[in-house]
């Protein structure tokens, strides 16, 4: 298992009884729990995982755990968990059975990586789609045609340039559309988080929006791209 100390993915090895027997440094960095915090504990208590829909995923009767313990394979899956600090973290997990000393039984190796940013972007895109869809919706072909025409005529760049925002505020808005949290925006633009919050407040006021989502919907109508300048 020495190789697991070198992987960039978090790694957790679980015994036949569902208890953690290995927790690598990458897992420590990702979730904040040290090996001594989790070794010997049931994996369900360590991850306390939930599905995308908010339903409990980890339990004493874990179907995936039973399948792995019997030597079966499972597909990779996404899970919401929490870091030691309480911060919500989304992880994608790849699991595989590892031969045990007990005949016919297997340990379960779980390799996981942080996908929090991707989940936020996915949810934002879904919310924008719902917000921008007209009542009753439109046929896909009509929506696609409208977006294509907008790009060809240059309508979207015109809308973007007409926004009553400063260049810095547009930069902040583009980064918001890319799913960046305030701290990452501050780091990217070399400004303080307080300045970022002030820019966001000014954006909301200038666009007459009450939320960040509304501001993004106004700035990026269907077919618009956050990369527009």
Q: What is the pLDDT along the chain (229 residues), one digit of tens a residue?
A: 667 777 889 999 999 889 999 999 999 999 999 999 999 999 999 999 998 777 888 888 888 888 998 899 888 999 999 999 999 999 999 999 999 888 888 999 999 999 988 887 777 666 666 655 555 555 444 444 444 344 333 444 555 667 788 989 989 988 998 888 999 999 999 899 999 999 999 988 888 778 888 888 777 765 555 554 4
Query: Residue 54's Cα: distance from chain center in Å?
Result: 14
Is this prediction's pTM over 0.85? no
Q: Distance between CA 5 and CA 38 in Å, rounded?
A: 16
Q: For the chain, which domains are there?
A: 7-116 (3.30.450.20), 155-229 (1.10.10.10)
Give the span between the Cα atoms of 148 and 79, in whole angstroms: 36
* 124 φ/ψ angles, rounded to the nearest 5 degrees: -60, -45
Output the furthest CA–CA distance in the chain (Å, rounded).
Answer: 70
């Amino acid at each position: 298992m020495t190789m697991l100390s070198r992987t960039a993915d978090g790694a957790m090895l679980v015994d036949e009884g569902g208890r953690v027997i290995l927790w690598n440094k990458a897992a420590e960095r990702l979730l904040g729990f040290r090996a001594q915090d989790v070794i010997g504990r049931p994996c369900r208590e360590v991850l306390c995982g939930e599905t995308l829909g908010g339903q409990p995923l980890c339990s004493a009767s874990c179907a995936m755990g039973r399948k792995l313990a019997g030597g079966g394979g499972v597909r990779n899956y996404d899970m919401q968990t929490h870091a030691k600090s309480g911060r919500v973290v989304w992880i994608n997990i790849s699991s595989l059975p590892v031969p045990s000393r007990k005949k016919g039984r297997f340990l379960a190796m779980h390799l996981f990586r942080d996908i929090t940013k991707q989940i936020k972007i996915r949810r934002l895109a879904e919310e924008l789609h719902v917000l921008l869809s007209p009542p009753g919706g439109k046929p896909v072909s009509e929506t696609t045609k409208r977006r294509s025409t907008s790009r060809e005529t240059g309508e979207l760049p015109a809308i973007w340039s007409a926004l009553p925002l400063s260049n810095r505020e547009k930069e902040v808005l583009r980064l918001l559309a890319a799913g960046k949290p305030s701290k990452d925006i501050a780091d990217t633009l070399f400004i303080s988080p307080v300045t970022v919050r002030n820019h966001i407040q000014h954006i909301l006021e200038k666009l007459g929006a009450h939320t960040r989502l509304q501001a993004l919907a106004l700035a990026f109508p269907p077919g618009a791209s956050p990369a527009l300048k």
